[in-house]
Structure 1
Amino acid sequence: MSALLLALLVVALLPYLAKIPVAKAMHQLGGYDNHHPRAQQAKLEGLGQRATGAHYNSFEALQLFLAALLSCVIAGNYDGVMQGLAWGFVSCRVGYILLYLMDKALLRSMVWSIGVGCLVTMMVRAVLTVSG
């Protein structure tokens, strides 16, 4: 279970790590506007705009990861396969962010799909554990 909790910690930190290039781009756009950061982010282009997308998508992905992790807890299934799937998702999320920043849209979408597949597999395995 500790491997799953460590994966949760990493996934929870990723939105904040993805924010670093956003903040840098905002600073280059006349200084970080802490009064209206979302309005300033809407003006970003190129890398800054992609970094903003990666930042927000990381929060969205966290919700699905939490659902998959909760499924594991409810089912009482913390086996090596579940841990591997969770860390597979973490790897996909890191790759997703990097590919987003590098503007590799097709690869990014493929990595996103694999990551979601890991989570769906975790949830299906949890259901099968409870049903079986």
Structure 2
Amino acid sequence: MTLAYWCIFIAMLLPWITAFYARKIGGFIADDNHRPRAFLARAYDKAARADAAQQNGYEIFAPFAAAVIIAQATGKAAQFTINYWSVLFILSRLGYLYCYIKDKPFARSCIWGVGVVCIISLYIASI
């Protein structure tokens, strides 16, 4: 399995880790498991921002995974190039999560843009 495929796996896990963190810092208890989305809807501060970051992780996962798979499948991009943009995407997601939870909106938006550039670059590499 290539490094880029491992990055897809990591990108899949990041929203789950973020959701766990949102629940942990939000004070999630066993009874909240009856309505976990209602619990997160009442969350505030870091817990609410972590939940929003989780949702963004789900939104950006499909375009990233598709870009990696297409770049691999076409065979037109060098493996190094695919790996480079994939790793940079994961690093951008980690920075994005940090900035979102720490309430740094400008930095968060800039880092989100880096992630989008990574995805677009993977598509361009497969042409």
Q: What TM-score does the superposition give when structure 2 sets the normalisation length? A: 0.90
Q: Residue in 1 aligned with 2:67? A: 68
User: 5 Å matches for 1:1-132?
Assistant: 2-27=2-27, 31-32=29-30, 33-76=32-75, 77-127=77-127
Q: Residue in 2 aligned with 1:130? A: none
Q: CA deviation at 1:79?
A: 2.0
Q: Partners of 1:81 and 1:5 in 2: how far apart?
A: 13
Q: CA deviation at 1:5?
A: 1.4
Identity %: 27
SS in 2 for 1:5: helix
Q: CA deviation at 1:78?
A: 4.5
Asked if structure 1 preserves the Cα contact closer than 8 Å seen for 2:72 and 2:82, the reply is no
Asked if structure 1 preserves the Cα contact closer than 8 Å seen for 2:89 and 2:118, the reply is yes
Q: Partners of 1:56 and 1:37 in 2: how far apart?
A: 14
In structure 2, give the amino acid aligned to 1:16.
W
Asked if structure 2 preserves the Cα contact closer than 8 Å seen for 1:25 and 1:44, the reply is no
Q: CA deviation at 1:108?
A: 0.3
Asked if structure 2 preserves the Cα contact closer than 8 Å seen for 1:19 and 1:51, the reply is yes
SS in 2 for 1:34: helix
Q: What TM-score does the superposition give when structure 1 sets the normalisation length? A: 0.87
Q: CA deviation at 1:59?
A: 1.2
Q: Partners of 2:107 and 2:62 in 1: how far apart?
A: 22
Q: Partners of 1:43 and 1:78 in 2: how far apart?
A: 46
Aligned-pair RMSD on alpha carbons? Answer: 1.5
Q: Partners of 1:42 and 1:104 in 2: how far apart?
A: 21
Q: Deviations over 1:72-125 (max 9, x none)?
A: 122123421221011000000011001111000000000000111011011011
- Would you say how many aligned residue pairs link Structure 1 and Structure 2? 125
Q: Deviations over 1:18-44 (max 9, x none)?
A: 11221113425xx25111111111111
